[in-house]
A and B are shown apart, each in its own frame.
Chain A
Amino acid sequence: MKRMAERLLYPIRRSEQWVEYLLFHQRAWVLSVFLLVTLVLGWQAIQIRPDASFIKMIPTSHPYVENYLTYQQDLSGLGNSVRVAVATTEEDIFNAEFQDVLRLVTDELFFIPGVDRAALQSIWTPNVRWTEVTEEGFVGGPVIPPDFDGSEATLDQLRINVLRSGQVGRLVANDFRSAVIEVPLLDFDPETGERLDYQAFSQRLEERVRDQFSDDQVSIHITGFAKIVGDLIDGARQVALFFALAIVITMVLLYLYSRSIQGTLIPLVCSLIAVIWQLGLLNALGYGIDPYSMLVPFLVFAIAVSHGVQIINAIRLESLHDPDKWHAARSAFRLLYIPGLTALVSDGIGFFTLMVIDIRVIQELAVAASLGVAVIILTNLLLLPLLMSYVGVGEKAIEHAKAQADQGGEHWRVLTWFATKKGAATALTVAVLLAFGGVYAAQGLQIGDLDRGAPELRADSRYNLDNDFITSNYSTSSDVFVVMAVTEPDQCSSSATLSAVERFQYAMQAVEGVQSSVSLADLSKRITSGLNEGNPKWRAISRNQFVINASLAFVPGGLMNADCSLLPVILFLDDHKAETLIRVSQAVETFADRYNSDQLQYLLAAGNSGFEAATNQVIARAQYEMLAWVYGVVSLLCLLTFRSVKTVLCIILPLALTSLLCQALMAMMGIGVKVATLPVIALGVGIGVDYGIYIYSRLSNYLSQGLKLTDAYFETLKTTGKPVAFTGLTLAIGVVLWVFSPIKFQADMGILLTFMFLWNMLGALILLPALTAFLKPHPELTSSPELFENDR
């Protein structure tokens, strides 16, 4: 164990010597390299583009998504469309002014780039028709009367046409006070071949439709994936404001802490350089910044500042002994290089364990965060002491430090109670009780999103209000689960296939949570009935293939693919709660397992609910896998560093309690485990372990000098207590402002990370000494780990 640890840590220890030499003897060279890199990466960082793609938010190697990707081309009409509802405050939509607006909105949408113009549908497009069964058979025509001029007579005709078009509940609201324009989108521009720019599209919708046409009488409501993405990107922009705020608050705190202008500005600048490098590297590596990885610059900044604080603190204390700037900076570097490196490496590895989750946004977040932490090693462990070696902390700061040192930090004495037998027993009892309470409360923890509408956004966001408007006035659910029924080519419309599929749909309709379903089979049945004078007794799949073929002449696109080997079965669900999705996907899988044959296979799944079901499955599995990895890795690092299982327990158990309480908090606040919240625990543990490492390394130092536990802990607090508390605070400030984000999941992440950062700090300050008193790991530490031989 010991040998292995030494071998593993050898390069780090060796590196310290030559890094120190390089840094402090070639200052100008190193500085110019840093400057150059910053300029290059800064130039890269400016170019970073907001980026949100549907495919990145879903687990692409989950069988559901693999199936979808196989048939993506054939399903295109199903996924990506926007619905624009134009509503009136008048009694109904049958008046000339409203129809005029509706026509203009339809025209406007027609010309927005990215719209699949041929498939655009509203009662003003010629592809929306009414049909009626008459004595002579089917008759029909466009819903808007050809001679429409806004007169009473043509408005009446329009009303009749709308009623017999079957569009009530689809293109016209059930209460006749709004009408929808269905806007299918093209993922790629057919002329330029470029990807659809969701943000530009969303902006055009706002400017050219909502802003232009909204007034006292008319309101516009827009839903659809493109709009969600647009809103997410817009919301993410507001987050830049939080970043500025976080910088200002951190600056004030830094000054209060260090009483030094240099000691405030230099950590801040170095931390900002870390952010610039991180963003620049991301862009250089071809990544964009999406609403999920938006969190990372905040984290990088906060982590960088917290390490900066440790170094400034060390330099201050060093300056008490040796006021020479160069010497103080150099000893501070020597003192903190290795613990800082260990802490940052464990942060980085903790973040990197997120790679086990097979969802691209999380993996990109892992890459971005690990990259950011790696960058901090350079900017804050190297550049910061280098800069400080030029400017120093200043007289005032040194005096302040001296005054504090003389004062003796008596207020820390309170915390040493937890290192006494009685205090430890109390703290541990409370912790055990909390753990039990946490286990109990965490049972209510749900997988997936629990709210209606677009859970990415707040319930009262305009998007979700629009979504409520459309779901309450129209008959279609926004939770869509698509099963792909796959046949041999040309067999998708055979009598046998359709008869099987209609019975599959019937079986699914009995599943709780399935509202209704639609497939080619329904259409064939309805049209067969229509061809027989509209008699519902004929609403069946005919055994006569000629009848079916005749019926399919009337089928709109999207319900079968070009070579007729696929027919999507669309299940409309009540909601997208995890239990509903599990119930539905299990029902489909059971049916498929029983009946899939060479002729006909039911493949899961597409549609927003299908993807969410897949995502939930991946997350439910990954949740524990990720915990195992992150705790495994962090424990191993602690074990390598301290070489004592009991020590590892002293550091890890408080973190575990925080993780557990975080789950309980999520359950109580109704926050589900989802793409956005899953990384939180890994981030929390990865960063939380820093406190433990810093505190325990000091503590073991004092213990090995023969101090009693309470005294050793008091000494520890006097030297590192303040930076640890400050670290907790800066980290929390970095993320707490997220609570005000217009994006729901960012707010959730903000709440949970703040909670984890603060609780981890408390855990380290209270539980760590209590556990040390209880487990007594120190007799094993016959010699303190030389790694942390860092006392003055």
Chain B
Amino acid sequence: MLKTLVKRLSLVCIAAMTPAIFAAQPDRLDQPAPLSSAAHSVLLTDVVRAGERLVAVGDFGVVLFSDDEGVEWQQASVPVTTLLTSVFFTSPQTGWVTGHDGVLLYSDNAGEEWTLFFDGNEINRLKVEYFESRIASLTDEETVEDPFLEEDLVFALEDAEFAQEEGPVNPLLKVWFKNEHTGYLLGAYGLALMTDDAGQNWSFISSDLPNPDQFHLNAITALENSLIIAGEAGLLMRSDDQGDSWYELPSPYGGSFFDVIAHQHALFALGLRGHLFMSEDGGFDWQEIPVDTTVSFMGAFSDGETIAIAGLGGTLLTGGEPNQLTLQPLGTRHHFNAVVSTSSGWVLAGEQGVFRTVEQGVSQ
């Protein structure tokens, strides 16, 4: 009896002394976002409205939602801990979120719980598959027309295979749906994907875009029946046939555009270092709107009457007419990435979480 006890005790001691086999921190794609009080002060990159609800996304897999116009926020359950970059709802119930590592999240309960629809590994696979089938279906006509096409496609396939080995390296930067069925995903280095069946299947469309330098694609919007994409280095592209084919627009600027938005039949493109342009002819002719700031504009919002533009260094620009935009003094130097209107003012997604303005004054 005593012997066994001693034996047991010594086993316990040995167990206590041998270092446990520690589990290293899981990869951020495998780690669900922890529910944390710190979630309310992370970098937020986007905020949108989903019916009555406001939903914001940001760093460490944080998705926040508010049912009282941005006063109180709750954290949603998310299966990854990556930096999320944009959010879009096709209905008050159905939403999509993009993020780093090529993450695409899906929710059908108004953004309270999110599932991983795919990550960058799937995007890499789609890319390889695209080039493989493209090479397989190459017709004689095409090779005659462009003798280097096959070689180019083989190179592109090799690139895609190399990327597959590298893993889910590149971020998705934007999710946007034209309607319930048709949606687009934009990302780094010219990455673009499209769905026609409400997101069940996505196809690789980067090769259809006139973006030979593979600039980052940052934003997309619709103006009447056309689609416009904006990106790095002044890249502006337009499609007049529901995205089947794209052509490059003349750009008024060589720096990056971070957002493009349609407001009262006009297009607004905004970007680096206080650059804001307006086009009243669908993107062919642009006029610069002078603004008294040199910080970058990151995200725009229009409710049909008022346009609001959020930017770095605590910038919020609002107004009804393009030439009447005024800088709102918010008393902060934190960066803002997106803005949405509420019944009482504006809610901004920024460097230190949500920032809310009300009619009089400002509150965090």
Contacts and interface: CB of A to CB of B under 8 A. Distances in A.
A507 B255 contact: no
A595 interface: yes
Interface in A488-536: 496, 499-500, 503-504, 506-507, 509-510, 532-536
Interface secondary structure of B, over-half rule: loop
Interface stretch (A537-545, A570-578, A769-777): A537-545
A240 to B, nearest CB: 51
Contacts of B28: 499, 503
Contacts of A533: 232, 255-256, 258, 272, 296
Nearest to A504: B25
A537 B28 CA distance: 17
Contact of A532 (B42, B60, B216): B216
A506 B59 CA distance: 10
Contacts of B218: 535
B315 interface: no
Contacts of A595: 22-25
A597 interface: yes
Contacts of A532: 216
B100 interface: yes
Contacts, number: 99
Interface in B81-115: 81-83, 85-86, 100-101
A507 B337 contact: no
B38 A535 contact: no
A539 B351 CA distance: 10
A791 interface: no
A503 B168 contact: no
B342 to A, nearest CB: 22
B166 interface: yes
How many B residues are at the interface, by size bracket?
A: 35 or more
A134 B216 CA distance: 16
B85 A600 contact: no
B305 to A, nearest CB: 28
B312 A507 contact: no
Given A509-B41, A535-B298, A543 B168 contact: yes
B14 to A, nearest CB: 19
B169 A543 contact: yes
B11 to A, nearest CB: 21
Which of A534, A537, A597 has most chain B Cβ within 10 Å? A537
A599 interface: yes
Given A506-B36, A506-B42, A534 B22 contact: no
Given A533-B256, A536-B337, A597 B22 contact: yes
A503 B82 CA distance: 10
Given A537-B173, A540-B100, A544-B166, A506 B60 contact: yes
A736 to B, nearest CB: 48
B37 interface: yes
A509 B273 contact: no
Contacts of A499: 27-28
A786 interface: no
A539 B83 contact: yes
B60 A503 contact: yes
Contact of A538 (B38, B82, B171, B255): B171
Interface secondary structure of A, over-half rule: mixed
Interface string A642-678: 0000000000000000000000000000000000000
A594 interface: yes
A492 to B, nearest CB: 15
B237 interface: no
B23 A594 contact: yes
A191 interface: no
B335 interface: yes
Which of B22, B27, B258 has most chain A Cβ within 10 Å? B22
B254 interface: yes
A135 interface: yes
A537 B337 contact: yes
B31 interface: yes
Contacts of B43: 536, 539
Contact of B273 (A134, A536, A599): A134
Interface string B333-362: 101010000000000000100000000000
14 contacts: A133-B272, A135-B254, A503-B25, A533-B272, A535-B256, A537-B337, A540-B171, A543-B101, A543-B166, A543-B169, A594-B23, A595-B22, A595-B23, A597-B22
Interface of B: 22-25, 27-28, 31, 34, 36-38, 41-43, 45, 59-60, 81-83, 85-86, 100-101, 166-169, 171, 173, 216, 218, 232, 254-256, 258, 272-273, 296, 298, 312, 333, 335, 337, 351
Given A168-B333, A533-B272, A595-B22, 14 more contacts: A133-B272, A499-B28, A503-B28, A506-B38, A507-B38, A510-B37, A533-B232, A533-B296, A536-B312, A536-B337, A539-B59, A540-B82, A544-B166, A594-B22
